[in-house]
């Protein structure tokens, strides 16, 4: 689409994120909540909606919802009512969904996102409410029948609904990434979009930049990755602009995203914005969250990504880039945080370089997660302390000591360095003799140096380090080399 035409319109975007909760059982029954179980094996008469069965609220799911609300600065609703959402659910046996309508458990919060240009933007959270998931319909290639797996029916969800504050696909991506980080840091959801435990619907409309009212909203579904959310929004914005420029009207409807073609297609029209015929759930009494409950959950909150980012850039003086990389994954952030607490603030940059460099390289090569890394923060801190104390240089530490400790994770850095004979030799007399040996072996290069080619210092240092097996004190070695090279002839 022509950039000039695109610039005349303002996209208005709101996201609805569904997060499956990591509880042991389902939202309103004791059926097991387990991904990957044999189809239709995690079922009971409650999930199947048999007559006379009664639901019961999962307390752990409520705790998780409160945690997400507190992490996004929401107000927590103290008296929660449940409702029945009536809609044709081919894979939810009751034929309705138990959810929250008028009293979402969390409301009025926000999430701060960081954009590629370094700026930040606050995205409002309209509400977070609890509900149950539907089952899963499967359509196999070449088959005319639809297979239904009801294991997912009744799995606890929270739906996080943003304000229509998002204006670009980039902002949508950043917001979704921040939501994923929050649910993973809190331990309430694994954030796996490919497995469907984190799902996103986008409400998209466009309006002329000088217009006072939003355009007609279209809901886009079926996006299973951050990138596909961006693609779907970009396509839908251009589709709606094309309709308006041709003199047409955008229909209020639900559309599905086709990742193969990068396009959206109509699924059903919405005659009204709310066509679900909510009414109060008669089988569940009001859920009251008292002060003791709220304070207990608040006390259980872990360090969150924004808090760790602030500590890493503030107290530790790391760059914006380093802090973002380190907080991108929960386990990496927590490992680095513990490592940094074992070292003085002046060593924070070195610690960050180790985690983002050798540690991540090892994990990638071995296809391991951070929780599987064999060295505890204390062992890595020991390596950094040896380097800071001038007893070990980085090259020897990374190429010899670090691999040795990975193979012997019970050892400590100092003991292993002594055992391997890696500690720096600082005997000036012995080192001076080796300096003379290097100079005598390279008379032509010495002449070039003394003729003005001072860049040869690095070559002499390399030869000296070879003789010492990398164990020479670099500062002392450099000083002795320059003294010998610059000595009057």
Instruction: Report how far apart, in Å, the C-alpha atoms of 366 and of each of 362, 372, 432 are.
Output: 6, 10, 43
Contacts of residue 462, Cβ cutoff 8 Å, sequence gap at least 6? none
Task: Kindly calculate the radius of gyration of the chain based on its CA atoms and give it in whole angstroms.
Answer: 30
Under 8 Å between Cβ of 320 and 118: yes
Under 8 Å between Cβ of 244 and 218: no
Extract the runs of DSSP E, i.e. beta strands, from 212-313: 218-223, 253-258, 263-269, 279-280, 287-288
What is the CATH architecture of 428-485? Orthogonal Bundle (1.10)
> Cα-flanking dihedrals φ and ψ of residue 10, to 5°?
-115, 110
What pTM, to 2 d.p., does this model score?
0.85
pLDDT score of 275: 65
What is the Cα–Cα distance from 1 to 206, expressed in whole angstroms?
15
- Token pair for residue 148? 């239904």
What is the Cα–Cα distance from 406 to 123, expressed in whole angstroms?
43
**Element at 314 (helix H, strand E):** helix 305-314
**Element at 70 (helix H, strand E):** helix 59-71
HSE-up of residue 9 (Cα within 13 Å, Cβ side) = 26
pLDDT score of 128: 98
pLDDT score of 440: 85
pLDDT score of 257: 93
Residues 137-180: tens digit of each pLDDT = 888 878 888 889 999 999 999 999 999 999 999 999 999 999 99
What is the Cα–Cα distance from 120 to 165, expressed in whole angstroms?
13
Domain limits, the chain: 3-293, 303-420, 428-485
pLDDT score of 270: 65
pLDDT score of 425: 66
Extract the runs of DSSP E, i.e. beta strands, from 270-358: 279-280, 287-288
What is the Cα–Cα distance from 444 to 447, expressed in whole angstroms?
5
What is the Cα–Cα distance from 352 to 308, expressed in whole angstroms?
13
Low-confidence ranges of the chain (pLDDT < 50): none
- Token pair for residue 355? 């985690």
What is the Cα–Cα distance from 333 to 324, expressed in whole angstroms?
10
Residues 179-212: tens digit of each pLDDT = 999 999 999 999 999 888 999 999 999 999 989 8
Contacts of residue 436, Cβ cutoff 8 Å, sequence gap at least 6? 484
pLDDT score of 430: 67
Under 8 Å between Cβ of 201 and 207: no
């Amino acid at each position: 689409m022509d950039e000039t035409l695109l610039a005349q319109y303002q996209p208005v975007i709101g996201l609805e994120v569904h997060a499956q909760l990591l509880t042991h059982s389902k939202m309103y029954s004791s059926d097991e909540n387990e991904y990957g179980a044999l189809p239709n094996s995690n079922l009971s008469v409650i999930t199947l909606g048999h007559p006379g069965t009664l639901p019961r609220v999962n307390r752990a799911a409520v705790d998780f919802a409160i945690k997400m609300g507190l992490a996004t600065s929401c107000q927590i609703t103290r008296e929660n009512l449940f409702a029945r959402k009536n809609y044709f659910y081919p894979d939810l046996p009751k034929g309705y969904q138990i959810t929250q309508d008028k009293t979402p458990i969390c409301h009025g919060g926000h999430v701060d996102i960081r954009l590629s240009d370094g700026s930040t933007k606050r995205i409002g959270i309209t509400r977070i409410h609890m509900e149950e998931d539907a089952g899963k319909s499967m359509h196999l290639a070449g088959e005319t029948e639809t297979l239904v797996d009801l294991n997912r029916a009744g799995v606890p969800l929270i739906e996080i609904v943003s304000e229509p504050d998002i204006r670009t696909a980039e902002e949508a991506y950043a917001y979704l990434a921040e939501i994923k980080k929050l649910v993973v840091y809190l331990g309430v959801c694994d954030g796996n979009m490919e497995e469907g435990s984190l799902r996103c619907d986008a409400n998209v409309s466009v309006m002329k930049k000088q217009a006072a009212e939003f355009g007609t909203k279209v809901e886009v579904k079926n996006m299973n990755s951050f990138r596909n959310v961006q693609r779907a929004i970009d396509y839908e914005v251009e589709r709606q602009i094309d309709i308006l420029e041709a003199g047409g009207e955008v229909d209020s409807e639900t559309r599905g995203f086709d990742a193969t073609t990068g396009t959206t297609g109509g699924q059903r029209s919405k005659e009204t914005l709310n066509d679900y015929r909510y009414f109060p759930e008669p089988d569940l009494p009001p859920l009251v969250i008292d002060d003791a409950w709220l304070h207990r959950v608040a006390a259980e909150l872990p360090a969150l990504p924004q808090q760790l980012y602030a500590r890493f850039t503030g107290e530790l003086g790391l760059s914006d880039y380093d802090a973002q990389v380190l907080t991108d994954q929960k386990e990496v952030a927590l490992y680095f945080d513990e490592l940094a607490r074992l070292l003085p603030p002046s060593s924070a940059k070195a610690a960050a370089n180790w985690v983002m460099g050798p540690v991540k390289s090892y994990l990638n090569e071995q296809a391991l997660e951070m929780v599987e890394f064999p060295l505890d923060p204390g062992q890595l801190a020991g390596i950094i302390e040896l380097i800071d104390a001038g007893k070990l240089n980085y090259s020897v530490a990374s190429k010899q000591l670090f691999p040795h400790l990975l193979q012997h994770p019970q050892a400590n850095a100092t003991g292993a360095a002594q055992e391997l004979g890696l500690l720096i030799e600082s005997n000036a007399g012995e080192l001076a003799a080796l300096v003379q040996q290097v100079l005598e072996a390279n008379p032509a290069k010495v002449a070039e140096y003394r003729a003005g080619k001072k860049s040869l210092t690095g070559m002499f240092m390399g030869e000296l380090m070879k003789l010492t097996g990398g164990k020479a004190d670099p500062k002392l070695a450099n000083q002795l080399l320059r003294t010998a090279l610059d000595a009057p002839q």
